[in-house]
Protein backbone atom coordinates (compact mmCIF):
# COMPACT_ATOMS: atom_id res chain seq x y z
CA UNK A 1 0.00 0.00 0.00
CA UNK A 2 2.90 2.31 0.77
CA UNK A 3 4.26 1.77 -2.75
CA UNK A 4 0.95 2.85 -4.32
CA UNK A 5 0.82 5.82 -1.99
CA UNK A 6 4.03 7.16 -3.51
CA UNK A 7 2.31 7.46 -6.90
CA UNK A 8 -1.20 8.41 -5.79
CA UNK A 9 -0.32 11.95 -4.80
CA UNK A 10 1.45 12.92 -8.05
CA UNK A 11 -1.29 11.29 -10.15
CA UNK A 12 -4.05 13.19 -8.36
CA UNK A 13 -2.09 16.43 -8.66
CA UNK A 14 -1.65 15.87 -12.41
CA UNK A 15 -5.37 15.17 -12.90
CA UNK A 16 -6.33 18.28 -10.96
CA UNK A 17 -3.85 20.32 -12.99
CA UNK A 18 -5.54 19.19 -16.22
CA UNK A 19 -9.16 19.58 -15.16
CA UNK A 20 -9.38 22.28 -12.54
CA UNK A 21 -11.61 25.17 -13.72
CA UNK A 22 -9.87 28.45 -14.46
CA UNK A 23 -11.77 31.71 -14.84
CA UNK A 24 -12.22 33.21 -18.30
CA UNK A 25 -11.26 30.01 -20.17
CA UNK A 26 -14.36 30.08 -22.42
CA UNK A 27 -17.22 32.47 -21.87
CA UNK A 28 -20.19 34.15 -23.55
CA UNK A 29 -19.09 36.63 -26.20
CA UNK A 30 -15.71 35.00 -26.86
CA UNK A 31 -14.50 34.56 -30.43
CA UNK A 32 -12.07 31.68 -30.95
CA UNK A 33 -10.10 31.74 -34.21
CA UNK A 34 -8.16 28.64 -35.21
CA UNK A 35 -5.72 27.71 -37.93
CA UNK A 36 -5.75 23.98 -38.58
CA UNK A 37 -4.15 21.55 -40.95
CA UNK A 38 -6.87 19.18 -42.17
CA UNK A 39 -6.98 15.84 -43.96
CA UNK A 40 -9.99 15.78 -46.28
CA UNK A 41 -10.64 12.05 -46.75
CA UNK A 42 -13.39 11.34 -49.26
CA UNK A 43 -15.60 8.26 -49.20
CA UNK A 44 -16.98 8.41 -52.73
CA UNK A 45 -19.71 6.13 -54.03
CA UNK A 46 -21.74 6.39 -57.23
CA UNK A 47 -22.12 4.86 -60.69
CA UNK A 48 -22.77 6.21 -64.18
CA UNK A 49 -26.09 5.57 -65.91
CA UNK A 50 -24.56 4.44 -69.22
CA UNK A 51 -21.13 2.93 -68.58
CA UNK A 52 -21.62 1.67 -65.01
CA UNK A 53 -18.31 1.65 -63.08
CA UNK A 54 -17.55 3.28 -59.74
CA UNK A 55 -16.84 6.97 -59.15
CA UNK A 56 -13.66 7.70 -57.20
CA UNK A 57 -12.00 10.86 -55.85
CA UNK A 58 -8.58 11.41 -54.30
CA UNK A 59 -8.01 12.81 -50.80
CA UNK A 60 -6.44 16.18 -50.04
CA UNK A 61 -4.54 17.86 -47.18
CA UNK A 62 -4.96 21.63 -46.81
CA UNK A 63 -4.82 24.49 -44.29
CA UNK A 64 -8.17 25.57 -42.85
CA UNK A 65 -9.36 28.68 -41.02
CA UNK A 66 -12.30 28.53 -38.61
CA UNK A 67 -14.20 30.86 -36.32
CA UNK A 68 -16.11 29.85 -33.17
CA UNK A 69 -18.43 32.30 -31.39
CA UNK A 70 -19.67 31.51 -27.87
CA UNK A 71 -23.29 32.46 -27.12
CA UNK A 72 -22.78 31.07 -23.61
CA UNK A 73 -19.84 29.31 -21.98
CA UNK A 74 -21.23 25.97 -23.22
CA UNK A 75 -22.97 26.77 -26.52
CA UNK A 76 -21.10 28.02 -29.58
CA UNK A 77 -21.30 28.13 -33.37
CA UNK A 78 -18.34 27.29 -35.63
CA UNK A 79 -17.76 28.15 -39.29
CA UNK A 80 -14.87 26.54 -41.17
CA UNK A 81 -13.41 27.82 -44.44
CA UNK A 82 -11.18 25.74 -46.72
CA UNK A 83 -10.78 24.72 -50.34
CA UNK A 84 -9.71 21.28 -51.55
CA UNK A 85 -8.66 19.79 -54.89
CA UNK A 86 -9.44 16.26 -56.04
CA UNK A 87 -8.80 14.07 -59.06
CA UNK A 88 -11.97 12.32 -60.24
CA UNK A 89 -12.32 9.14 -62.25
CA UNK A 90 -14.76 6.35 -63.04
CA UNK A 91 -13.17 2.96 -62.49
CA UNK A 92 -14.13 -0.37 -64.04
CA UNK A 93 -16.70 1.05 -66.46
CA UNK A 94 -17.61 -0.74 -69.66
CA UNK A 95 -15.23 1.67 -71.42
CA UNK A 96 -12.44 1.05 -68.89
CA UNK A 97 -11.16 3.62 -66.40
CA UNK A 98 -12.24 7.17 -67.29
CA UNK A 99 -10.19 10.14 -66.01
CA UNK A 100 -12.59 13.05 -65.48
CA UNK A 101 -9.91 15.56 -64.48
CA UNK A 102 -9.82 17.59 -61.26
CA UNK A 103 -12.44 19.45 -59.25
CA UNK A 104 -11.99 22.09 -56.58
CA UNK A 105 -14.43 21.94 -53.66
CA UNK A 106 -15.24 24.82 -51.32
CA UNK A 107 -17.11 23.12 -48.46
CA UNK A 108 -18.00 25.67 -45.74
CA UNK A 109 -19.37 23.87 -42.68
CA UNK A 110 -21.48 25.61 -40.01
CA UNK A 111 -22.04 23.69 -36.76
CA UNK A 112 -23.73 24.35 -33.44
CA UNK A 113 -21.60 23.00 -30.59
CA UNK A 114 -21.92 22.06 -26.95
CA UNK A 115 -18.72 22.47 -24.87
CA UNK A 116 -18.89 20.18 -21.83
CA UNK A 117 -16.07 21.67 -19.72
CA UNK A 118 -15.59 25.24 -20.99
CA UNK A 119 -13.33 26.31 -18.11
CA UNK A 120 -11.11 23.20 -17.92
CA UNK A 121 -7.72 22.77 -19.56
CA UNK A 122 -9.16 19.87 -21.60
CA UNK A 123 -12.46 21.07 -23.09
CA UNK A 124 -14.28 18.47 -25.24
CA UNK A 125 -17.25 19.35 -27.45
CA UNK A 126 -19.79 17.84 -29.84
CA UNK A 127 -21.46 19.58 -32.76
CA UNK A 128 -23.91 19.15 -35.63
CA UNK A 129 -24.75 21.38 -38.56
CA UNK A 130 -24.96 21.96 -42.28
CA UNK A 131 -22.63 22.48 -45.20
CA UNK A 132 -22.91 23.66 -48.77
CA UNK A 133 -20.41 22.35 -51.29
CA UNK A 134 -19.40 24.56 -54.21
CA UNK A 135 -17.90 22.24 -56.84
CA UNK A 136 -15.94 23.90 -59.62
CA UNK A 137 -14.21 21.96 -62.38
CA UNK A 138 -10.53 22.86 -62.55
CA UNK A 139 -9.51 20.65 -65.46
CA UNK A 140 -11.03 18.00 -67.73
CA UNK A 141 -9.44 14.60 -68.06
CA UNK A 142 -8.23 13.12 -71.32
CA UNK A 143 -11.09 10.58 -71.34
CA UNK A 144 -13.91 13.12 -71.70
CA UNK A 145 -14.73 16.40 -73.44
CA UNK A 146 -16.61 18.14 -70.61
CA UNK A 147 -17.57 17.61 -66.96
CA UNK A 148 -19.96 19.52 -64.69
CA UNK A 149 -20.66 19.08 -60.96
CA UNK A 150 -23.72 20.29 -59.04
CA UNK A 151 -23.52 22.38 -55.87
CA UNK A 152 -25.37 20.74 -52.98
CA UNK A 153 -26.43 21.10 -49.34
CA UNK A 154 -25.43 18.45 -46.82
CA UNK A 155 -25.13 17.95 -43.08
CA UNK A 156 -22.25 17.35 -40.69
CA UNK A 157 -21.48 15.77 -37.32
CA UNK A 158 -18.51 16.88 -35.22
CA UNK A 159 -16.42 15.95 -32.18
CA UNK A 160 -13.34 17.68 -30.85
CA UNK A 161 -11.32 18.86 -27.90
CA UNK A 162 -9.40 22.03 -27.01
CA UNK A 163 -6.35 21.98 -24.76
CA UNK A 164 -5.82 25.39 -23.14
CA UNK A 165 -2.23 26.62 -23.12
CA UNK A 166 -3.09 29.92 -21.40
CA UNK A 167 -6.04 32.31 -21.29
CA UNK A 168 -5.67 33.13 -25.02
CA UNK A 169 -3.95 30.23 -26.78
CA UNK A 170 -5.13 26.64 -27.16
CA UNK A 171 -4.42 23.50 -29.16
CA UNK A 172 -7.22 21.68 -30.96
CA UNK A 173 -8.10 18.28 -32.37
CA UNK A 174 -11.29 18.13 -34.43
CA UNK A 175 -13.09 15.44 -36.45
CA UNK A 176 -16.07 16.04 -38.75
CA UNK A 177 -18.10 13.65 -40.86
CA UNK A 178 -19.84 15.43 -43.72
CA UNK A 179 -22.66 13.85 -45.69
CA UNK A 180 -23.07 15.42 -49.13
CA UNK A 181 -23.49 14.34 -52.75
CA UNK A 182 -23.06 15.87 -56.21
CA UNK A 183 -24.54 15.18 -59.63
CA UNK A 184 -21.87 14.66 -62.30
CA UNK A 185 -22.62 15.42 -65.96
CA UNK A 186 -20.09 14.15 -68.51
CA UNK A 187 -19.97 15.22 -72.17
CA UNK A 188 -22.97 17.51 -71.91
CA UNK A 189 -25.04 15.01 -69.92
CA UNK A 190 -24.73 12.02 -72.26
CA UNK A 191 -23.13 10.25 -69.28
CA UNK A 192 -24.50 10.98 -65.80
CA UNK A 193 -23.64 9.96 -62.26
CA UNK A 194 -26.49 11.30 -60.14
CA UNK A 195 -26.29 11.44 -56.33
CA UNK A 196 -22.59 10.61 -56.20
CA UNK A 197 -21.78 10.59 -52.48
CA UNK A 198 -18.61 12.40 -51.38
CA UNK A 199 -19.14 11.99 -47.61
CA UNK A 200 -15.68 13.17 -46.51
CA UNK A 201 -14.12 12.63 -43.11
CA UNK A 202 -12.32 15.84 -42.09
CA UNK A 203 -9.59 15.46 -39.46
CA UNK A 204 -7.92 18.64 -38.23
CA UNK A 205 -5.14 19.59 -35.82
CA UNK A 206 -4.31 23.19 -35.09
CA UNK A 207 -3.88 26.14 -32.77
CA UNK A 208 -6.44 28.69 -31.63
CA UNK A 209 -6.47 32.24 -30.28
CA UNK A 210 -9.35 33.67 -28.23
CA UNK A 211 -10.43 37.26 -28.69
Domains defined along the chain, listed by start? 28-210 (2.40.160.20)
| DSSP letter for each residue of 6-65 | HHHHHHHHHHHHHH---TTSS-TT-EEEEEEEEEEE---B--BTTTB-EEEE--EEEEEE
Task: Kindly state the average pLDDT of the residues 93-110.
Answer: 84
- Per-residue pLDDT, 147: 84
Lowest average pLDDT, out of 90-94, 148-152, 162-166, goes to 90-94
The answer, yes or no, to whether residue 131 has pLDDT greater than 90, is yes
- Per-residue pLDDT, 71: 98
Average pLDDT, the chain: 85
pTM of the predicted model as reported, rounded to 2 decimal places: 0.82
Which of 16, 25, 15, 19 shows the shortest CA–CA distance to 208?
A: 25
Lowest average pLDDT, out of 3-7, 90-94, 138-142, 203-207, goes to 3-7
- Per-residue pLDDT, 9: 54
- Per-residue pLDDT, 6: 53
Who contacts 144 (Cβ-Cβ below 8 Å, separation ≥6)?
98, 99, 100, 101, 186, 187, 191
CA 44: distance to chain centroid?
15
- Per-residue pLDDT, 153: 93
Tally the residues of the chain. Answer: 211
The answer, yes or no, to whether residue 158 has pLDDT greater than 90, is yes
Task: Kindly state the average pLDDT of the residues 184-190.
Answer: 80
Q: Which of 1-15, 73-87, 140-154 has the highest mean pLDDT?
A: 73-87
- Per-residue pLDDT, 18: 47
Query: 134: which DSSP letter?
Result: E
The answer, yes or no, to whether residue 163 has pLDDT greater than 90, is yes
Which H or E run includes 2?
A: helix 2-19
Answer yes or no: are the C-beta atoms of 30 and 70 closer than 8 Å. Answer: yes
Amino acid sequence: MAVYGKFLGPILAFVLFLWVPVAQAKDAGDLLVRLRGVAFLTNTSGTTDVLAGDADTTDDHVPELDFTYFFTANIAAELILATTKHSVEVRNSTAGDLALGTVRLVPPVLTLQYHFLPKAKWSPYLGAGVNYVFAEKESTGSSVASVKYSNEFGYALQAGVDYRLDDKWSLNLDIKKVFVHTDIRVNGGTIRADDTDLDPLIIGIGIGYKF
